Amino acid sequence: MYDRMQELSTENMQKIHTTAMELLKDTGVSFKEEEAVDIFKSNGHRIEGTTVFFKESDIQKALETAPRRFTVHARNPEKNVEIGENDFVFLPGYGAPFIMDAQGSQRQATMEDYDNFCKLIQTSPHINMNGWMMVEPADMPHETVHLDLNLSNMLLCDKPFMGSPVSRQGAVDGIEMAGILWGGKENIMDKTVSVSLINSLSPLQFSEEMAGALIELARHNQACVVASLIMAGGSGPVTLDGVLALQNAEILAGITLAQLVRPGAPVIYGSTSSAMDMQTGALSIGAPELCKNIHLVAQMARFYNLPSRSGGSLTDALFADAQAGAESALALSTAARSGINFILHSCGILGSYIAMSFEKFIIDEEVCGMVRSMIRPLALTDESIDIDVIKEVGIGGQYLTHPKTFQLCRTEFFMPALMSRKNPDAWTKDGKKRIDQIAEDKVALRLASYEKPDIDPKIEKQLTEYVEKHKNT
């Protein structure tokens, strides 16, 4: 298969692997969580303080039990998703503290904003999984906000959702609430119903919160994205070559912990590492280095027979303008074409993760649909080619009024709901609106059309009571 982006040879991938193994053996990884260190120690790892050292056989044993694909179950079974091999999912942005409004003004995010993103995800034709912390609500107590986010995910949307890995207790609360949703925690011990993002602390560390959450989630068979976000030249080497080796070591260390806790626990190999802007010292996620890393991460995940995660519509722009469109489309299409299975940040992100935009969510969402259509393979069968029609129309004929065209005209091509295909006269008549202005109107219409998905009132009551009880303890 031909692609101008670099395809790693077996020798290349083995070099990255061998370098990571040397780092894990000689330098090790620090786990700031006591139980994590105890788990490694009880499995024969060399320990010095909080630093754990790995033999290659430890990594290989973990890779043998990690599944190459798995199902994430939704409360609406029709919306279950498969992750791994050829199957992939689009998810919204993650972790933004601010909202950038349609006029380009930044404000703190609220719980109402979070709920509105859940509603947009529920009504989305292209985003097939709910996220986590699409925004960080400033109007909610930091210590307990994860309870409210879980509740909104479960009540306002019936698609699969991400879990709450903010701490060990946050993970436990998410698991307990999922247990209520599925009629008892025992019903999810062999059924994955959430995917949580576990980030390493580069270089070569896992925080107490992340390691504790990983242990609880793996113990209960809930999927974890083990991810590394390195700033090349800041928290990691200045070369992407070195970044690939470093992030590989971090990710494999986390995956090994998950498999020691529960062999077969679903894990995803993830990274959104990119370049540090050498003029400002800030992370750049609109840089071409991000796209290069995405493409290479997908290949390394396949090298280990693991599902992969990377970023989607990522940009450094602070407005849903041409820069945002170009950077986001490059990253999203690279992720989809390269074979990434879990495409986080597929819609809404602005300003290197600093803000979410409702208007950009709508724009990115349509690009997700275009990308999915773009990579859908042709059937190339006798029926789809239909040589009889070509012969029938013959030399110099036309296909516009042919019955086959009428039959397929509404389904054969991608039909945009947002992108303009108007001629200049029609565009002028409609007010010469830019795409961000059209998206602003679409946000209001979508939220107005939202209908809360059905849920058993007893389960909703139990979930609400759980949140209230644990917010008051």
- Kind plus residue range of the DSSP H or E element containing 227: strand 223-228
Buried b vs exposed e over 357-375: b needs ≥16 C-beta within 10 Å?
bbbbbbbbbbbbbbbbeee
| 54-59-61 Cα angle (round to 5) | 125
- In terms of Cβ atoms closer than 10 Å to its own Cβ (0-12, 13-18, 19+), residue 87 is middle
* CATH fold for the domain made of 64-375: TIM Barrel (3.20.20)
pLDDT at 214 over 70: yes
Q: Please give the model's pTM, rounded to 2 decimal places.
A: 0.96
Q: Which residues pair with 100 in a beta bridge?
A: 106
C-alpha 287/C-alpha 51 separation (Å) is 33
pLDDT for 362 equals 98
**Interval 81-106 mean pLDDT:** 97
Half-sphere exposure of 146 (CA within 13 A, CB side): 19
CA nearest to 138, candidates 180, 108, 100? 108
Distance, in Å, from the CA atom of 242 to the CA atom of 117, rounded to the nearest integer, reads 37
Strand ranges (DSSP E) for 91-133? Answer: 98-100, 106-108
Q: Which residues pair with 206 in a beta bridge?
A: 31
Sequence-separated (6 or more) residues with CB below 8 Å from residue 333: 371, 374
pLDDT tens across 269-290, in order?
999 999 999 999 999 999 999 9
pLDDT score, position 162:
98
Write out the two tokens for 167. Answer: 């701490």
> What is the structure's pLDDT at 1?
59
Sign of CA dihedral 348, 73, 206, 296: negative
Interval 187-214 mean pLDDT: 97
For the chain, the structural domain boundaries read: 64-375
Q: In whole angstroms, what is the distance from residue 82 CA to residue 347 CA?
A: 20
pLDDT of residue 473: 79
Alpha carbons 260 and 269: distance in angstroms, whole number:
16
Which pLDDT score, from 0 to 100, does residue 254 have?
A: 98
Q: Is the predicted pLDDT of residue 26 greater than 70, yes or no?
A: yes
The answer to whether 244 and 286 are in contact (CB under 8 A) is no
